[in-house]
Amino acid sequence: MISLCSTDDRYNDDSHYVGGAQICDNLDWGTTAWAICHDAARPAHRRRPLGASFRKAASTATGGWADSYPNPIFRMVENLPGTRKGLIGPWGTNIRISPCPDRASVFSRNACAGGISISRGIDTGITCEPMLRAWIQDPYPPAAIYDERPGRWVAERSWPAGVGERSLAPSPSLLAEGARTDDVLRICSPSTLGLSLGAWCGNGVDPTLPIDQRMEAGNALVFETKPLEEAVEILGFPEFEVTLASDKPAALISATLSLVLEDGAASRVSYGILNDNASA
């Protein structure tokens, strides 16, 4: 079975909710569902997360950094039984239009080889391929759309891979190793925060990717490292741990990890949103 841009967690990682927080795409999907089908009993309204279908099948999960479904791929290759493969490229939901030198050929080769091997019983060698392939993107100026996204393919035989972890602690305006502080930092961001984040799920066709994140600096607490002495590559889940207190009954927290380029532009690497009521 091949899963393309799908999720295993609808409340924390999907078009309806992210971290328990309702997002604007929930409205789009709801109206689309009513437009294509008014009969609630039809299959269009019974879309299930990938975990419900993949428990007993050899499986491949595919997504892209420009869409919103790379996270489930890591969880799937780690937790599902049997033969499973993961593929993460630079593309958006529309894989046919890919800002990658070899376009969608990598996806097509993996899909065809997997389908032939499973359905016809022909040994294509796909089962001996690495468990996870991913496109590591080179540092690049932020833009709402790319004709090409430079980088290279990497492969991991298993997941989680035997890669190292690096911990950085925030202190006022600083992010560094061993810089942890007990200072209380206060923030009340305006509702306009996040306008530079782009669309929740980029399709690779329209200019919907995150732009320069510097425009968010005045609306958030910013913690910045000193210039890096060596390249840092991230494959997996960046994590942000914080102790919170709120004077309101409901609050949201959003954390963004960005790469600051030499000209000062901030290119988003990853982000997360959490509804504090959902985490209680």
Give the pLDDT confidence score for residue 205 in this predicted structure: 78
Helix (H, G, I), strand (E, B) or coil at 71: helix
Which phi and psi angles does 175 have, rounded to 5°?
Answer: -130, 115
User: Tokens 């437009």 belong to which residue?
Assistant: 35
Give the pLDDT confidence score for residue 44 in this predicted structure: 43
Give the pLDDT confidence score for residue 116 in this predicted structure: 45
* Predicted confidence (pLDDT) per residue in 17-45, tens digit: 888 888 877 777 767 666 655 444 444 44
Distance between CA 85 and CA 1 in Å, rounded?
Answer: 10
Give the pLDDT confidence score for residue 73 in this predicted structure: 93
Give the pLDDT confidence score for residue 269 in this predicted structure: 94
Residues forming beta bridges with residue 93, ordered by sequence position: none
pTM of the model: 0.82
From residue 46, give the alpha-carbon distance in Å to each of 15, 68, 204, 276.
15, 21, 27, 29
Residues forming beta bridges with residue 59, ordered by sequence position: 84
Burial 234-246 (b: 16+ CB within 10 A, else e): eebeeeeeeeeee
From residue 260, give the alpha-carbon distance in Å to each of 119, 254, 263, 273.
47, 19, 8, 21
Helix (H, G, I), strand (E, B) or coil at 35: helix
From residue 76, give the alpha-carbon distance in Å to each of 9, 61, 71, 84, 133.
11, 8, 9, 8, 13
Give the pLDDT confidence score for residue 277 in this predicted structure: 81
Give the pLDDT confidence score for residue 55 in this predicted structure: 56
Give the pLDDT confidence score for residue 45 in this predicted structure: 40
Give the pLDDT confidence score for residue 42 in this predicted structure: 45
Structure tokens at 124: 């294509």
Give the pLDDT confidence score for residue 41 in this predicted structure: 44
- For the chain, list residues with pLDDT below 70: 30, 32-57, 95-124, 126, 179, 279-280
User: Tokens 């604007």 belong to which residue?
Assistant: 24
Distance between CA 70 and CA 78 in Å, rounded?
Answer: 13
Structure tokens at 159: 């997941």
* Predicted confidence (pLDDT) per residue in 40-77, tens digit: 444 444 445 555 555 556 788 888 898 888 999 999 89
Helix or strand (DSSP H, E) at 4: strand 2-4
> Looking at residue 228, what DSSP letter applies?
P
Helix (H, G, I), strand (E, B) or coil at 151: strand
Distance between CA 193 and CA 212 in Å, rounded?
Answer: 13
Calculate the CA dihedral of residues 24, 66, 155, 57 and round it to 10 degrees.
50
